[in-house]
Amino acid sequence: MPHTPPAVPEFTNWPSFPFEGNFRVRQLDDPVEVEPLRKGEGSRECTACTSPDDAYIWVGERWRVRAMDRPTGLPMVLILETRSHLDLGDLPNLLAAELGVMTVRLERAIRSLDGVARVHVNRWGDGSAHLHLWFLARPYGQLQLRGTFLSLWDAILPPISEEQWRENLAMVAAWLADFEGRPLAEPPRIHWQAPASFTEGGEAEPTAAAAYGDGDPVSITAEEKPPARDDREA
């Protein structure tokens, strides 16, 4: 199919657009007739269903909250998941109603952190069939990070300190546990290499980004991303 690249859209000139220079629009592949299975579909293993509670920062009866396996550029990036293997459109009324409650609760918890102005909530679901919502904290005062490109900036900004990150996780976990469930993230006590699991001696888990495929919030592609942020493609 012949292809004339369309003009570069106006948003590439917005102050919030993370890149500058000369761009051209990438050529689109032809659509596939049958889309590949997502994680948790057909024969593909579901990372969420096979992850133990200690891979999460907070767990309740029907919901769990997960962090990345290391600090990233934004003050907080969290994922809210159902315990059951369901996608958004499959939620029964109880879970659908609770999704609203959990979304508001988690937004408030993250917004209560020092230096957080706004929490952006996203659901893509192109990588994994197991419902997972992204919560991305936008740092206060950083006006260029407002809006659409926040998830890109997460991979561009230098990571926040390990200590601050653990403190933030512990605060959010404790906030959620005030209502129900169990907090699993603890405040930092000693300097150590970040494990992926929040209980001592836990086996290393893959990053949430790799686990979900759609993955790091930077991308909604269906393929896995490498766990290390340094390895991410821009």
Catalog residues that contact Zn ion under the rule CB under 5 A: 40, 46, 48-49, 85, 130
- Name which of 154 and 224 has its Cβ closer to Zn ion: 224
> Which string of b and e fits 21-33 if b means at least 16 CB within 10 Å?
eeeeeeeeeeeee
Q: Residue with structure tokens 């991308």? A: 219
CA separation (Å) from 148 to 9, 75, 156, 165, 176?
Answer: 14, 17, 14, 23, 27
Work out the angle at residue 40's Cα, subtended by the Cα atoms of residues 35 and 43, and round it to the nearest 5 degrees: 75
Q: Where are the beta strands (DSSP E) in the chain?
A: 58-59, 63-67, 77-82, 116-122, 132-139, 182-183
CB of 202 to Zn ion, least distance (A): 20
CB of 63 to Zn ion, least distance (A): 13
Find out whether 224 and 213 touch, Cβ atoms under 8 Å: yes
CB of 136 to Zn ion, least distance (A): 22
Find out whether 214 and 128 touch, Cβ atoms under 8 Å: yes
CA dihedral 188, 193, 198, 200 (to 10 degrees): -100
- Name which of 82 and 219 has its Cβ closer to Zn ion: 82
- Name which of 78 and 119 has its Cβ closer to Zn ion: 78
CB of 77 to Zn ion, least distance (A): 20
- Name which of 48 and 137 has its Cβ closer to Zn ion: 48
- Name which of 54 and 167 has its Cβ closer to Zn ion: 54
CB of 138 to Zn ion, least distance (A): 29
User: What tokens appear for 33 in the block?
Assistant: 């007739």
